[in-house]
Amino acid sequence: VTYRVLLTEDIHPAGRELLAASASVRVARGVDSDTLREELRDVDAVVLRARGRLGRDLLSAGSRLRVVGRYGVGVDNVDVDAATALGIAVVNVPAASAVSVAEHAMGCLLALARQLLAADDAVRTGNWERRHALPGREMQGLVLGIVGMGHVGRELARIAHLGFGMTILYHDLQPDPAVESAFQAEPLELHELLERSDAVSVHVPLHPKTRNLLDRDALQHMKPSAYLLNIARGGIVDEEALVETLRSGRLAGAALDVFSHEPPRSDDQVMDCPRLLLTPHIGALTEEAHQRVSRSVAEDVLRVLRGEQPRHPVHPPRRVDTLNEA
């Protein structure tokens, strides 16, 4: 038997080659619902990247479909309940990209604190004297609030505390004694964390309870001198409220790697917002993370197809209110 595997978008060769050794693999012609419905008709497995959404009707359209492999952590673009009801397994890759994402978060925070875009502009345009108007902020001694202490949160806490000497606060419904002892992290309610932090980074999955978790009200609890990072999922930070807060000078800066609509349209409000750093959902896209994610999802998809137990099955959430991504 040769399995048929659909890739919604091409994946790193490490995993593609693993799949191709025991299945016929093809890349979908598009990620819109109509194309995917057509493409899913004759496949045993699908590997889903960030774009495209597998809701109940698309999952039902795949009459031979036995497994959905998420190329990454978040399963917000798969209806896991529907898949489970239809007997379709969902697998993901929980930890493989945590280091890369945490590094990206720290990189964005430093780029904001050192005004790298404006500084680079000053040199390129021959505006040397602007150097006096580009004060930097030191991280040492600042307070970093981490919302969601999962794999990424822990890596970020390590870098920020052990490297930069930052004080770590965190918000999660599940306490994490390990980070409390390793990085002196202090657990807090969300609003108190926002009030005390000089920088806030969100690392929770997107689900109904976390949508707009950082809404207008939450943003008003932040210090005007603080920075906000969303390298997790678009929709967790209310973009309209964020743009308004930045425009009115009630926040020092923010970085978004993820957006409620990806890619953002050219007339999107985030596009010309001041003090906002934008990257195109690349936090996890390093060669190292790519390789590990690709191999892991391919191995798990093949396990399900062969009737074996997958290593990273995703079950419908037991506690819908959990913030922890792990």
Partner 1 sequence: MAGDAHPSACAGAPEAAVVAVPESWASEPAVLALNGAGVHTVLYGQDFRQERATLAQAHGIACDGALPTELLAALPSTRVISFDGTGVWDFVDVDEAARRGITICNIRDYGSVAVAEHTMALILALAKRVTAWDGCVRCGQWNHGEPHTAVQLRGRTLGLVGLGSVGSEVARLATAFGFELIYWSRHANRARERGLSVTRTTLDVLLRRADVISLHLLLTAESACTIGRRELALMKAGALLVNTARGGLIDQEALAEALTVGTLGGVALDVWDPEPPPSPHPLAHLDRSKVILTPHVAASTAEARSAAIQGCVRNILAYLAGKPTNVVHPHASARAEPR
Residue corresponding to tokens 């904001």: 112
**Cβ 7 to partner 1, closest distance in Å?**
11
Cα 175 to Cα 58, 95, 187, 222, 323: the distances in Å are: 37, 19, 7, 23, 11
Contact 248, 267 (CB under 8 A): no
Nearer to partner 1, 4 or 281 (CB): 281
For the CB of residue 11, give the shortest distance to partner 1 in the complex, in Å.
Answer: 8
CB of 308 to partner 1, least distance (A): 28
- Give yes or no: 281 in active site: yes
Assess contact for 210 and 234: CB atoms under 8 A: no
Where is 24: in which H helix or E strand? Answer: strand 23-27
Residue 36 tokens, joined: 């995917």
Task: Tell me the C-alpha distance between 127 and 123, whole Å.
Answer: 6
Residue 74 makes contact with partner 1 by CB under 8 A: no
The mark string for 242-281 relative to partner 1 (x by CB under 8 A, - otherwise) is -------------x------xxx-x----xx----xxxxx
Catalytic residue among 240, 262, 287, 288: 262
Cβ neighbour number for residue 313 with a 10 Å cutoff: 15
- Cα 119 from Cα 31, distance rounded (Å): 39
288 included as an active-site residue:
no
Residue 27 is a binding residue for partner 1 (CB under 8 A): no
On whether the CB atoms of residues 176 and 185 are closer than 8 A, the answer is yes
Binding mask 36-55 for partner 1 (x = CB under 8 A): -------------xx-----
CA dist 210 and 204 (Å) reads: 7
Q: Any idea what DSSP says for residue 207?
A: S
Residues 227-254 as b or e (16 or more Cβ within 10 Å = b): bbbbbbbbbbbbbebbbbbbeeeebbbb
User: Which of 1, 87, 140, 274 touches partner 1 (CB under 8 A)?
Assistant: 140
Kindly report the number of other CB atoms within 10 A of residue 195's CB atom.
16
Q: Which of 61, 111, 173, 182 binds partner 1 (CB under 8 A)?
A: 111
117: contact with partner 1 by CB under 8 A? yes
CB count within 10 Å of CB 1 equals: 6
Candidate list 37, 158, 191, 221; residue touching partner 1; CB under 8 A: 158
**Binding-site member from 57, 288, 308, 321 for partner 1 (CB under 8 A):** 288
CB of 267 to partner 1, least distance (A): 11
Residue 113 lies near partner 1 (rule: CB under 8 A) = yes
Q: Does 182 bind partner 1 (CB under 8 A)?
A: no
**Which residues of the shown chain bind partner 1 in the complex (CB under 8 A)?**
9-12, 49-50, 99-100, 103-104, 106-108, 110-111, 113-114, 116-117, 119-120, 122-126, 128, 130-131, 134-140, 158-159, 162-164, 255, 262-264, 266, 271-272, 277-283, 285-291
